[in-house]
Amino acid sequence: MSSLAAPAALAPRRAWLTDLPVLLVAAVWGASYLAAKGITTTHTVVAVLVLRFAVVLPPLVVAGLRQLRALTATQWRGAAVLGLILGGIFLLETYGIVHTSATNAGLIISLTMIFTPLTEAVLERTRPPRAFLAAAGLSVLGVVLLTQGAGFTRPSLGDLLILLAALARTAHVLAMSRMKAVRGADALSLTTVQLGSAVVVFAVLAAAGTGETPWSVAGGFGAREWAGLIFLSVCCTLFAFFVQMWAVRRSSPSRVSLLLGTEPLWAAAVGITLGGERLGLLGLLGGVLVLVGTSWGRRAVG
């Protein structure tokens, strides 16, 4: 996402009016792991993803129809490529959530904040600050402990899939910032094309017989499952996207990023209080180290 010039300092009252909706986005994102876990099984991952984005895509198309028409063919192709990466991220995350706890998922995915600057430093052949390297080491140690809550065993399949999702998120962020084809495209149309491309991927997988069909899953949903799906579609996608756009125009990208960085805290809080998840002593220590390491690392690179 391209950087925007930070506006003049906001009055404390006005700043909080902007900060609260962004903090709410971080909270719903944190809750999204438990929500996805509650309505998804190994055999319904693809179907749930089709349904989730089929709900959210039409309003985005209607809201950004003029901007979509203004995209060049090159921008369409670039956004479509980014959408393929995004589809991979959602597949890894959702399959991962099925096989691990919502708490682990929310904390491990936060390693994106460490992986992205590290990868960027490698690509630009620069040396990260020592403080950042120390923070990265602390975060990795935290993940190791987090996945060993029941004693020193191999990480679960879900933990590994979420780790791969964090790496895929890193690739997506770097591709967005470096891909010349999408430069100049507005955020709304870029997001819409990416989600559309991801839905195509999910639809193809569903048509190929990967798990249950979307319509059979939809037919078997009760009120609880539909509530979870609507929450993921409306709150975690539509609401979150528009709040980010609104907040960046009234605050600063750095402030918004700092508030959204509380997502793993909310994931842990929701997983433990509502999901009844338990980390154990090692897991609790690991979770704290991940939060401290990612926060320290984010500050170390500005």
Degrees (nearest 5) of the Cα angle 233, 234, 235? Answer: 105
Which of 233, 229, 290 has its CA nearest to residue 263?
290
What does the pLDDT look like over 135-193, one tens digit per residue?
888 888 888 787 776 555 567 899 999 999 999 998 998 888 888 888 888 888 888 99
Distance CA 96, CA 129 (A): 32
What does the pLDDT look like over 82-107, one tens digit per residue?
999 999 999 999 999 999 988 888 88
Q: What is the pTM of this model?
A: 0.84
Distance CA 164, CA 167 (A): 5
What does the pLDDT look like over 227-280, one tens digit per residue?
999 999 999 988 888 887 677 667 666 566 667 777 888 888 888 888 888 877
Burial degree of 110 (CB within 10 A; 0-12, 13-18, 19+): buried
Residue 45 has pLDDT above 50, yes or no: yes
Provide CB contacts within 8 A for 50, sequence distance 6+.
199, 202, 203, 206, 214
Residue identified by tokens 């709304």 is 188
